[in-house]
């Protein structure tokens, strides 16, 4: 540790992104990325955009893309905050509304980054266990004396809460800030955006990294009461006023306007997800019902980590977690139909191999 | 103020970027942007880059662009940190090494954003006055009991310190962190990058926003001892791991490799700067010697703010500051030769008009 590194950071828990090994080509089904390219409208936007416009600073108020997003979801631009990825949006929420010692509650099994934020900003991170069926324990969230951050649908589980249940959590106490991370909302769950005009203690965060197939573009947004958004903007102007580059603003506008393409890609993903769940269930796997672009299922007949390792040997990256509660589960991103057929073929091969070897050992 | 906004933020001083009025087209000479387009190599990079690669998360370690920058300046990639603009690089320096109550010293007349950072992170901001000739008072910086952030050359003044003077500040105390912001270094001053291998308490920050003509791309970098860089990376991984999007990484690499084009653009700027300074001096203006892409000069015969307002009426945006010490000065970014000729023409017209009106009033 250098002389200068701040005390309290020694044991910081960095977020560990899905692995990106370079030793060979892999089919990456471990980071909930899409197998589809971004909207073709982007190409047009990029050729139309004078590349030369990069020689000027962009509008730090991000007026055009905030208007495009606002128009798309029926909010005024004043209710929209745009960030360099949803991570940065949540980062600015943390900087604006959370200080050392504040409480923030989430689920015990959820997007790991919330714990990282909590630790980084020295918050008390309250982990409320999922129920036995891996659904969010809404009653406990209603009662907890804490601000709340929850993904809906939940990652890596895949289950979603109905809007009415989220409303119970938000409505309980207007002095409780509730952040709902809707990264996976476009794959079939209901958005709680309509609650934003009713409650000024709710921030809904969405991203272009999932249903719009462009994690590499780093565009996320938050929608909330305009007072909250204005305060986040003030903090942004104190740390990184020009947080969204000119190209991202242009391609973001093109992407948000291409609702047709989003619908096409998400419908296809939902269809393949259904097929994949059916195949897994046919083989006897316990599959959690999901409204996301991934499936989450239990491997009973062999260690899940071994299944993941064997898939990796075959060039397929998927996600396995060491947490005790879900160590028997695997998360696989929904890729193309061909990719998923290959994954199923390998899963069957691997299961078969394991069975044969177990029998050999037993005999 | 919302119920949730943190105490202590009420009176935060946001950075005010150069104005970007939309009422008519302006020649923007108020934000030290370049009048030249980014490197043509970028176009190639953008068409070569599979736009489709945006459908995956980028490498959060930014390996390729860190290597390209390291190679360019003779450092290992481990000594390079890349950020979403130099602002974000400095933001991560603040988060990594500064905590409420720490001291940080800078000049009284300097890049305004340092004060914003200091206020945002609740630091004690020590402002050491420039000497009467507007140069940095090095002895005072050597002696001050504080970490230090200084731009070299200084903005909005334009003067630069020799490397040996910066070394005196850095060498004085290995427990003092010194951040040198070299945003304008490519316009003729000497970089203190060679000091980085000698001192582990020095971080040098540079940007692609000035000499590489691409503020809209948001690419900045810091070079320092690899331990400091590693600690900044850790903090980044806790807040915004994917801080540089795929397109910025690609075009950044293309731009950093095109040293020829950088040389061409900066030489041309330096030549036009010389012409502009000569013209201003011919007309009797007190011009501060500059090693940047702007000129800074005193207007004695009329209020400088009025000169700026009259230029704006004519479609030219330049920068005037209200600070008592420099309220008689104007900062004009060096644009193309044609732009500067137009500015000189208007400056002369405006001065002439003012003289006539004053004489009329007097008679």
pLDDT > 90: percent of chain B: 74
Q: Within 13 A of B160's CA, how many CA atoms are on the CB side?
A: 22
Give the C-alpha separation, B10 to B216, whole Å. Answer: 30
Question: Which of B53, B216, B54, B21 has the alpha carbon at shortest distance from A243?
Answer: B216
Give the C-alpha separation, A249 to A150, whole Å. Answer: 27
Are A231 and B174 a contacting pair at CB < 8 A?
A: no
Q: What is the pLDDT of residue A27?
A: 81
**Considering Cα of B320, then B120, then A227, then A85, what sign does the dihedral take?**
positive
Burial A95-120 (b: 16+ CB within 10 A, else e): bbbbeeebbbbbbebbbebbbbbbbb
Are B9 and A36 a contacting pair at CB < 8 A?
A: no
Are A52 and B33 a contacting pair at CB < 8 A?
A: no
Residue A86 in contact with residue A181, Cβ under 8 Å? yes
Residues of B with CB below 8 A from A234's CB? 9, 12, 14
CB pairs under 8 A between A and B: 246
More confidently predicted of A154 and B245? A154
Name the strands in the sheet holding A147-151, side by side, starting at the edge strand that comes first in the sequence: A80-83, A220-223, A202-207, A178-181, A147-151, A103-107, A124-128
Residue B77 in contact with residue B230, Cβ under 8 Å? no
Whether residue B29 has pLDDT greater than 90: no
Burial A328-358 (b: 16+ CB within 10 A, else e): bbbbbbbbeeebbebbbebbeebbeebeeee
Are A237 and B2 a contacting pair at CB < 8 A?
A: no
Of A4, A57, A228, the CB nearest to B33: A57
Residue of chain B with shortest Cα separation from A225: B2
Residues of B with CB below 8 A from A218's CB? 242-245
Are A201 and B4 a contacting pair at CB < 8 A?
A: yes
DSSP state string for A131-164: -TTS---HHHHHH-SSEEEEESS-TTT-----HH
Q: What is the pLDDT of residue B19?
A: 73
Q: What is the pLDDT of residue B362?
A: 83
Residues of A with CB below 8 A from B246's CB? 216-217
Are B242 and A87 a contacting pair at CB < 8 A?
A: yes
Give the C-alpha separation, B88 to A49, whole Å. Answer: 25
Question: Which of A269, A276, A274 has the alpha carbon at shortest distance from A348?
Answer: A276
Residue A165 in contact with residue A148, Cβ under 8 Å? no
Q: From the CA of A238, how many Å to the nearest CA of chain B?
A: 5
Of A129-143, A346-360, B241-255, the one with minimum mean pLDDT is: B241-255
Q: From the CA of A333, how many Å to the nearest CA of chain B?
A: 13
| Single pTM value for the model | 0.91
Instruction: Specify which residues B203 forms β-bridges with.
Output: B179
Rg over CA atoms, chain A: 21
Whether residue A122 has pLDDT greater than 70: yes
DSSP state string for A227-282: HHHHHHHHHHHHH-SS-S-HHHHHHHHHHHH-HHHHHHHHHHHHHHHHHHHHHHHH
Residues of B with CB below 8 A from A104's CB? none
Q: What is the pLDDT of residue B54?
A: 80
**Considering Cα of B165, then B167, then B168, then B170, what sign does the dihedral take?**
positive
Q: Are β-strands B147-151 and B124-128 bridged in parallel, bridged antiparallel, or unpaired?
A: unpaired
Count CB atoms within 10 A of the CB of residue B89: 27
Residue A208 in contact with residue A33, Cβ under 8 Å? no
pLDDT single digits (tens) A74-121: 999 999 999 999 999 999 999 999 988 999 999 999 998 999 999 888
Residues of B with CB below 8 A from A200's CB? 2
Question: Which of B184, B191, B185 has the alpha carbon at shortest distance from B163?
Answer: B191
Of B55, B119, B216, the CB nearest to A37: B55
Q: What is the pLDDT of residue B315?
A: 92
Burial A206-235 (b: 16+ CB within 10 A, else e): bbbbbbbbbbbbbbbbbbbbbbbbbbbbbb
Question: Which of A89, A128, A121, A124 has the alpha carbon at shortest distance from A106?
Answer: A128
Q: What is the pLDDT of residue B59?
A: 86
Residue of chain A with shortest Cα separation from B244: A218
Q: By three-state DSSP, how is residue B241 classified?
A: coil
Whether residue B318 has pLDDT greater than 80: yes
N-terminal to C-terminal alpha carbon distance within chain B: 55
Q: From the CA of A48, how many Å to the nearest CA of chain B?
A: 13
Q: What is the pLDDT of residue A63?
A: 94
What's the rounded mean pLDDT across residues B330-357? 95
Question: Which of A21, A9, A238 has the alpha carbon at shortest distance from A116?
Answer: A9
pLDDT single digits (tens) B79-116: 999 999 999 999 999 999 998 899 999 999 999 899 99
Residue A317 in contact with residue A29, Cβ under 8 Å? yes
Residue of chain A with shortest Cα separation from B57: A216
Residue of chain B with shortest Cα separation from A100: B6
């Amino acid at each position: 540790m250098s002389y200068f590194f701040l005390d309290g950071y020694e044991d910081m828990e960095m977020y560990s992104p899905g692995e990106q090994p370079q030793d060979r080509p892999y089919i990456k089904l471990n980071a909930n990325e899409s197998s589809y390219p971004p909207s073709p409208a982007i190409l047009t936007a990029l050729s139309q955009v004078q590349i030369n416009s990069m020689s000027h600073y962009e509008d730090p108020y991000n007026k055009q893309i905030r208007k495009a997003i606002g128009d798309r979801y029926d909010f005024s631009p004043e209710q929209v905050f745009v960030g360099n990825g949803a991570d940065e949006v949540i980062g600015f929420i943390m900087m604006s509304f959370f200080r050392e010692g504040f409480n923030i509650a989430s689920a015990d099994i959820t997007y790991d980054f919330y714990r990282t934020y909590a630790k980084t900003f020295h918050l008390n991170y309250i982990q409320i266990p999922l129920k036995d069926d891996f659904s969010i324990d809404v009653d406990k969230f209603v009662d907890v004396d804490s601000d709340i951050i929850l993904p809906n649908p939940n990652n890596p589980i895949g289950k979603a809460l109905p809007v009415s249940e989220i409303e119970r959590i938000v409505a309980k106490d207007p002095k409780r800030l509730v952040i709902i991370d809707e990264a996976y909302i476009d794959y079939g769950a209901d958005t709680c955006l309509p609650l934003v005009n009713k409650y000024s203690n709710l921030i809904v965060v969405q991203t272009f990294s999932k249903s719009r197939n462009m994690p590499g573009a780093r565009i996320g947004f938050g929608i909330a009461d305009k007072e909250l958004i204005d305060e986040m903007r003030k903090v942004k102007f104190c740390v990184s006023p020009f947080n969204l580059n000119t190209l991202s603003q242009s391609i973001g506008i093109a992407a948000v306007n291409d609702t047709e393409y989003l619908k096409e890609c998400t419908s296809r993903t939902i269809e393949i997800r259904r097929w994949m769940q059916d195949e897994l269930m046919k083989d006897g796997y316990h599959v959690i019902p999901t409204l996301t672009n991934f499936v989450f299922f239990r491997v009973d007949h062999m260690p899940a980590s071994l299944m993941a390792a064997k898939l990796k040997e075959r060039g397929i990256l998927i996600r396995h977690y060491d947490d005790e509660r879900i160590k028997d589960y695997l998360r696989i991103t929904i890729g193309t139909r061909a990719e998923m057929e290959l994954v199923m073929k390998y899963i069957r091969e691997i299961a078969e191999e394991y069975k044969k070897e177990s029998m050999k050992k037993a005999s």
